[in-house]
């Protein structure tokens, strides 16, 4: 064999090795290769080593199967009450079918952006400004359902839609800030009035309890004084009854009884009365006592 033939075979072998090496593909995790053969879809390669037939097959598209984020610029939308706002959306999606993603639609990301803008306008057009500001979850849910259904033929699954910013016109923002300030001032006034009312109630309850305690104390004092007076009267009456009982037990004579009556009259005369009515029995006893006193004096 001539030297030319040897070099030719060596060169041919090296060329074949290079061609085979260039047509070996290693598909990474979370990626997919869409393969075409002679211009028609052949298969989809997933994770692993694959060999492409040179000059016949080609990698039409490399698709990422990871969840992706699309942040679209603000879109002008008009609410039901004719307020123009700027709203930008964020969409989280993933590719579930590389073949549909490759052949389903031209420029799928542009299509998703336009579809999101029109869907957002339709939803916001049925809501008023206040509803748009307080119903983000409802808007997100509606948009996700519509976009997910519309992108299903493209091999795309929309997992989540978020309204990142809602920007009303400047004059609307100023009016909202004034409204919020007035609302805060109103709440402050209400809280202050409730505090003053509560303080007045507590003060009135304190005065009421204090008056009740003073009345109870006065009542207890009067009860104790009455009980003391009653006890004193009871003791006097008891002593009087005891004295009468003892007198009765001693069987006093009529003269002793009349003398006791005279003593009682003397005690009554010690009072502040200016006019005293003397019973006839006591007058007789007084005259008797005076006659005895004079007789004793003459004898001396």
Query: How many alpha carbons lie under 13 Å from residue 48 in its C-beta half-sphere?
Result: 6
Instruction: State in Å, rounded, how far the first CA of the chain is from the last one.
Output: 203
pLDDT the model gives residue 178: 80
- For 266, phi then psi, to 5°, come to -60, -40
What pLDDT sits at residue 217? 85
Query: What's the pLDDT at 296?
Result: 43
pLDDT of residue 287: 53
What whole-number distance in Å separates Cα of residue 58 and Cα of residue 37? 7
Assign a CATH topology to domain 68-168. Answer: Tetrahydropterin Synthase; Chain A (3.30.479)
- pTM for the model stands at 0.56
245 vs 227: CA distance, rounded Å? 26
Count how many Cα atoms sit within 13 Å of the Cα of residue 141 in the half-sphere of its side chain: 4
Per-residue pLDDT, 280: 55
The answer to whether residues 281 and 258 touch, using CB atoms and an 8 Å cutoff, is yes
- How many angstroms separate the CA atoms of 95 and 114, rounded? 18
Concatenated DSSP letters of 156-190: EEEEEEEEEEEE--HHHHHHHHHHHHHHHHHHHHH
The pLDDT of residue 293 is 47
CB 158 within 8 A of CB 94: no
pLDDT at 262: 60
Mean pLDDT by 10 residues, the chain (300 residues): 73 81 86 91 91 88 92 88 88 93 89 91 87 86 92 92 85 77 86 88 87 86 84 80 70 62 57 53 51 48
Per-domain residue ranges for the chain?
Answer: 3-64, 68-168, 253-300
């Amino acid at each position: 064999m001539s030297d030319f033939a040897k070099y030719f075979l060596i060169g041919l072998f090296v060329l074949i090795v290079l061609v085979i090496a260039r047509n070996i593909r290693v598909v990474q995790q979370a990626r997919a290769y869409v393969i075409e053969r002679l211009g028609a879809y052949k298969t989809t390669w997933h994770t692993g080593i694959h060999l492409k037939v040179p000059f016949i097959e080609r990698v039409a598209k490399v698709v990422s199967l990871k969840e992706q984020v699309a942040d679209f610029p603000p879109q002008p939308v008009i609410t039901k009450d004719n307020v123009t706002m700027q709203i930008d959306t964020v969409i989280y999606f993933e590719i579930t079918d590389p073949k549909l993603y490759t052949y389903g639609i031209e420029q799928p990301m542009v299509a998703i952006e336009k579809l999101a803008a029109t869907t957002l306008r339709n939803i916001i057009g049925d809501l008023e400004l206040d509803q748009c500001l307080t119903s983000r979850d409802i808007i997100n849910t509606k948009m996700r359902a519509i976009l997910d259904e519309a992108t299903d033929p493209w091999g795309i699954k929309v997992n989540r839609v978020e309204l990142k910013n809602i920007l009303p016109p400047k004059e609307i923002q100023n009016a909202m800030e004034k409204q919020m300030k007035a609302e805060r001032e109103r709440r402050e006034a209400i809280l202050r009035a409730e505090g003053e009312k509560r303080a007045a109630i507590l003060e009135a309850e304190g005065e009421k309890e204090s008056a009740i305690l003073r009345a109870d104390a006065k009542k207890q004092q009067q009860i104790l004084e009455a009980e003391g007076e009653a006890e004193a009267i009871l003791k006097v009456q008891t002593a009087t009854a005891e004295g009468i009982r003892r007198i009765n037990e001693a069987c006093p004579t009529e003269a002793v009884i009349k003398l006791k009556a005279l003593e009682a009259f003397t005690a009554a005369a010690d009072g502040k009365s200016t006019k005293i009515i003397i019973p006839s029995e006591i007058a007789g006893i007084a005259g008797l006592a005076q006659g005895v006193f004079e007789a004793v004096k003459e004898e001396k």
